[in-house]
Amino acid sequence: MKALEVEALKKVYPDFTLGPLSFGVEEGQITGLIGRNGAGKSTTLKAMMGLISCEGRVRVFGKDFSEEEFAVKERLGYVGGGFRFYPAKPLSAVARAAARFYPHWNEETFLHSCNEYGLILSKRVRELSEGMKMKFSLALALSHGAKLLLLDEPTSGLDPLSREDFCDTLLTLKGQGVTILFSTHITSDLMRVADHILYLSNGKLLANEPLAGLLGRYRVQRFASFEEGHAAGAIGVKPTKMGLEGLVTGFEGREATLDEVMIHLEYAQKETI
């Protein structure tokens, strides 16, 4: 079953158009939404959550978001980068305020999550590190029974050890049956946890496939000249300190990283403009 289904999602700004995008997120998977800054990742998540007006249709566990918004939000948790609300309030007061919005709020679950994440409820929001703010956001989301988490750049601003700890948390949640879609430009996090990749470029979906399939399709090959690369059908040939490199399909060259796939596909997009 698909935890999330998006059909023809579209948002038009004067200088940017998102979509139309259509994709699904399988239940029980971690899906990474990737793309360079300005590609439309945050806009996509906000549009799906109804935080900005848009065209298209969104279903969560089979329920239409626009028709059953209240029921959908009971099973959905949205976490932005960090936690910037009520900075002077203790965590316990913020939790009490959040609980009033959710009929199925489970205080026992909330306290268990806080204990597991090392959160001290007497602390004020402004006293938390960025990593602990993110864990507090997760504790709030999980305490009303969210089974689908939408995370917008959750590891941005975290140090490598905090990011590793956060990735461990995501894998634990996946093991508990929680489905996760999170946007990021830090591809090393996705290499740790992602099952599937949605790749946005300039508001368009360039890739929608399992991470293993995306990485398995491309290899990196070196070339003596741009002409040699183009003759070989290479994608996004560009200079590096080791010489010219581009993506190729087949068995020649070395395995490509997710960073390299993104970079060379972006260069290929430039060539077509």
Residue 36 lies in a domain: yes
Q: 243's torsion region: left (phi>0), alpha (psi -120 to 50) or beta?
A: left
Q: What percent of the chain has pLDDT over 90?
A: 53
Overall average pLDDT of the 34-43 stretch: 90
Of 162, 178, 202, at which residue does a domain stop?
202
Q: What is the DSSP letter of 111?
A: H
- CATH assignment at residue 98: 3.40.50.300
Integer angstrom CA distances of residue 5 from 32, 183, 184: 15, 17, 20
Q: What percent of the chain has pLDDT over 70?
A: 97
pLDDT in tens, 199-211: 999 999 999 999 9
Task: Respond yes or no on whether the N-terminal peptide bond of residue 14 is cis (omega within 30° of 0).
Answer: no
Is it the case that residue 273 has pLDDT exceeding 70? no
Of 160, 177, 202, at which residue does a domain stop?
202
CB 179 within 8 A of CB 147: yes
CB 209 within 8 A of CB 197: yes
**Nearest by Cα to 96 from 131, 132, 129, 140:** 140
> Which residue range forms the structural domain that includes residue 166?
2-202
Tell whether 166 and 48 lie within a shared domain. Answer: yes
Residue 126 lies in a domain: yes
Residue 207 lies in a domain: no
Amino acid at residue number 37: N
pLDDT of res. 220: 95
Structure tokens at 264: 């060379």
pLDDT in tens, 134-171: 888 888 988 988 899 999 888 777 788 888 888 888 89
CB 186 within 8 A of CB 158: no
Domain count within the chain: 2
Would you tell me how many other CB atoms lie within 10 Å of the CB of residue 110?
22
Tell whether 174 and 56 lie within a shared domain. Answer: yes
Measured CA to CA, the distance from residue 248 to residue 175 in angstroms comes to 35
